[in-house]
Structure 1
């Protein structure tokens, strides 16, 4: 056996797929696989007074991350944290309202963001990753992540999420220079955070641009693609060979430009992307991750089986990671997750 084949066998199946190999059966993990749909998570969550305390307490974050790994045959675990730890570490006030989501003090002056104490503030996240890597079997990949600069900026300017992200769009149009400086700060923050996660033991990382859908064509290239390309380059310089997944949710036709210009190893697709488009990425050697509709996962039954079969039939013969088109919904019955994993493994097994 040559060195390349031997190395391929030693690495987790997910990492092999992210690096462009066709893996049978296909690796599976889900965005938001640790969370409120699990009864054991809801019990654990009661121990923390607030969500950020939960994220910054390694004992609880490790337990939350491992809960779905004990219950399901996932091929990867993603550290339990939140994208908003970055603005929090840069000095912006962040808190979470039960049942409503994140709140931030709207950022009036991007120049007020500071890297003083940045790494020490995020040290609990890196400690969580070190503990997870020690606890997980070698064949299970461990993922780190961060929010993309555009998505973080939408929360930081508005103080909360919003479907059209109007405050960030109008701010960027009225104040392009301060907004660009803010994006630059977030690019640096993302690079530092991802590299530190890799140093702590993450096998791969994902960049979430959850609000990419709010941008027009020029804005998408300027505020999503270009900053993420810089993050990819910065992480690669520090950690060559570590796969990077990009997720520009709702990018539509922009997915192609995103894949070509950012240099990511894998593109995570939302549920609206056709299989023909997904196969085009595979033909270029780019791993495709996705893209089951979370609503179908919640419904289950024949609709779920048919969707899983459709995705697997289309993508199993190229570099492919089965995932959702976004995170698991709170209403999802846990047994539906078991059903998907078993069906994916059956439908993508070597025959």
Structure 2
């Protein structure tokens, strides 16, 4: 039995005594306690060791007081499970040394048995659930197929992912085959996360905003829709497509319980796009957590007023930055918790 089910009630559209709050990337790099673990273990070692992943996931619940825990993992564990080598180089980001470029390359990619290749994630979820002991809900996640294709084709991070876009525009049949394989893997992965204890799952489309509305529908939303539909009866879903606010109405129509938005759209505009039957989540600029605490408190209060009462989860508009002071993150959370309508 959950002692704090604010997030779940808000996603279901039920009345709550206050707004729930959590932060994307809350389990990690801005916390000294996380850095102590990071200094001892490599990135994938942290992800693949259930005890480490559990400890990291629970840190922000204990230290910052958020209303939900989000699994410590990475979206690139899925390409890894599908047969691609993924390296995470500190301060440089992800490298996939053998990206997909041709039909022949696709032979190296498979739709895996997720229990076999991603079992460590489910073990971590079970352990976190046990250790949380009903304090707050647990959020699982995966990358959206388009965002994963970007890395699998580009071979590294990019601001524009031109190579990935060229791949889609010059070899559309190949792109759709790969996107469907990622989608099938992701559905199995998220269903297994729900079974292992995730109360909510979030689909991260970090690069959705690089596509035109038409291409977003073709290369991203078509596949996200499949994932949300497959999970509908098993777990609550939140879709977060950074920068793709022009397609918010279409995302709302997927049947997801919540939609994450970044800071480049006004709450009132987002609400106008999506209607009243879906929960909005966001949209504080993570860089604003570097402002003085009184400024953070003032801006968070203004954000809460702009979103209004009901069907709203306070969050950042993207992941928390590594150099945010912990007391600033705490000020963000506390301001939401103390806010009275």
* Structure 2 stretches lacking a partner, 5+ long: none
Whether the 8 Å contact between 1:207 and 1:244 is mirrored in structure 2 is yes
Match of 2:100 among 104, 107, 119: 107
User: Cα deviations across residues 110-153 of structure 1 (Å, max 9, x unaligned)?
Assistant: 34211345421210110000001111142401000000000000
The answer as to 2:63 corresponding to 1:51 is no
The answer as to 2:62 corresponding to 1:62 is no
Structure 1 position 241, deviation (Å): 5.2
User: Cα deviations across residues 37-58 of structure 1 (Å, max 9, x unaligned)?
Assistant: 111100111221x211210011
1:167-186 equivalence runs, <5 A: 167-186=163-182
Match of 1:82 among 74, 96, 113: 74
CA distance in 2, matches of 1:281, 1:244: 19
Whether the 8 Å contact between 2:249 and 2:274 is mirrored in structure 1 is no
Structure 1 position 20, deviation (Å): 1.3
Structure 1 position 281, deviation (Å): 5.9
1:202-351 equivalence runs, <5 A: 202-236=198-232, 240=233, 242-260=235-253, 262-280=254-272, 283-347=275-339, 349=340
User: Cα deviations across residues 65-97 of structure 1 (Å, max 9, x unaligned)?
Assistant: 111111122110001000000000000000111
The answer as to 2:105 corresponding to 1:140 is no
CA distance in 2, matches of 1:241, 1:95: 32
Quote the residue 2:18 is aligned against: 25
The answer as to 2:34 corresponding to 1:38 is no
CA distance in 2, matches of 1:139, 1:283: 31
RMSD of aligned Cα (Å): 1.7
CA distance in 2, matches of 1:126, 1:51: 18
CA distance in 2, matches of 1:257, 1:74: 30
Whether the 8 Å contact between 2:142 and 2:204 is mirrored in structure 1 is yes
1:336 is paired with a residue of what secondary structure? Answer: helix
Structure 1 position 59, deviation (Å): 1.2
1:253 is paired with a residue of what secondary structure? Answer: helix
Whether the 8 Å contact between 1:144 and 1:197 is mirrored in structure 2 is yes
Structure 1 position 208, deviation (Å): 0.1
The answer as to 2:182 corresponding to 1:197 is no
Structure 1 position 36, deviation (Å): 1.1
Quote the residue 2:124 is aligned against: 128
Whether the 8 Å contact between 1:126 and 1:197 is mirrored in structure 2 is yes
Aligned length: 337
User: Cα deviations across residues 163-205 of structure 1 (Å, max 9, x unaligned)?
Assistant: 1110110000000001000000011011011000000000010
TM-score for both structures, normalised by structure 2 = 0.95
Quote the residue 2:158 is aligned against: 162
Whether the 8 Å contact between 1:204 and 1:243 is mirrored in structure 2 is yes
Of the structure 1 ranges 304-313 and 327-336, higher mean CA displacement relative to structure 2 is found in 304-313
